[in-house]
Structure 1
Amino acid sequence: MTKPYRDCVVAVIRNQDGLVLAGERSDAKGAWQLPQGGVDDGESADQALFRELREEIGTDRLKVIHKLAEQIRYEFPPEMDSGPARKYRGQQQTWYLLELLPDGAPNLEIADGEFRDIKWMQPDLLVRGIVTWKQAAYRTGLKAMGLLS
């Protein structure tokens, strides 16, 4: 039997300069990614998005600008046998474009510790720096948001 895809949400938080907010993973120094996470049983994608934002960047004070109608999928590498890869073949992600509200500054001190640091990045640099098996999904999502050509 083929493993299913895990439902997941991705937060593309942009600023006025066209940069996106990326987090450096606490478990992998130098590995930067967008805030993202799984959709729990009984939870909508919208609910998961704001829960993940509270957990990962310490704020849910954001405005949704756009939500992609189509999910974006990627598969875990065959050699990966940890975390979600044990149960799922990959992730199918609902992508959101967001902006911080004036009172929505990220606060890693109250976040869950998934990120050791956050910074604003050029979307193309983020794509080049993400693990290779996520690059196509990031490129597709950021292009659909109008942040990559």
Structure 2
Amino acid sequence: MKDDELYRPCVGAMIINEDNKVWLGKRINIVHPEANLLWQMPQGGIDPGESPEEAVYREVYEETGIKNLKTICMSDYWYYYDIPSAMYEKVKGKYIGQRQKWFLLFHDGDDDEINLIPENNNELHQEFSEWKWELRENIVHQVINFKRETYLKVLEEFKDYNIFINQI
């Protein structure tokens, strides 16, 4: 059993499009020797008084500019991962990792709405330098090592939902 106080409460968003591809962004604020491992799905903290669903829509908009979304489902579980000790300074030593509630979201808008520097944000808080739609089976090998197990679990939990996209 994990001590929830040691894990930052967060949300993650697996955004799929009409082609059943998943939105990935390339992180700009992480130094890593393998630049090909800097891709990830949107995620972020849950603010005090905010529900996980409110948080995921806010985080997705702040990081991607995407507003046209429909919730397909929410994960049954909270997923945990530990952050490497070298990253503790970034989170000011308050947390040893994150616990995340994941959402499967359908993007039913146009790609033109995607803006990595949304109007309510600025370049100092920009999360991603570029973005792409990716096949599910190609995602895990592009993700930083300490998040891979969580991504595998999320992909497994949401694997059966692609058949419903045309019915949304």
Map of 1:137 onto structure 2: 150
Map of 2:74 onto structure 1: 67
Which structure has the bigger radius of gyration? Answer: 2
Q: Name the TM-score, length of structure 2 as normaliser.
A: 0.78
Aligned length: 146
d(CA) in 2 for partners of 1:85 and 1:119? Answer: 31
- Is residue 51–residue 60 contact of structure 1 (8 Å, CA) maintained in 2? no
* Runs of 4+ more than 4 Å apart: none
* SS of the residue 1:124 aligns to: helix
Map of 2:86 onto structure 1: 79
CA RMSD of aligned residues (A): 2.0
* SS of the residue 1:128 aligns to: helix
Q: Which amino acid aligns with 2:49?
A: G
- Which ranges in structure 2 are unaligned for 5 or more consecutive residues? 161-168
User: 1:131: Cα distance to partner?
Assistant: 1.1
* SS of the residue 1:54 aligns to: helix
d(CA) in 2 for partners of 1:73 and 1:81? Answer: 16
Deviations 1:45-101 (A, max 9, x none): 111111101100012220001111211111112333222262111111101001112
- Percent identity over the alignment is 36
Superposition pairs for residues 18-97 of structure 1, below 5 Å?
A: 18-28=20-30, 30=36, 31-84=38-91, 86-97=93-104
Q: Name the TM-score, length of structure 1 as normaliser.
A: 0.87
Q: Which of the two has greater helix per residue?
A: 2
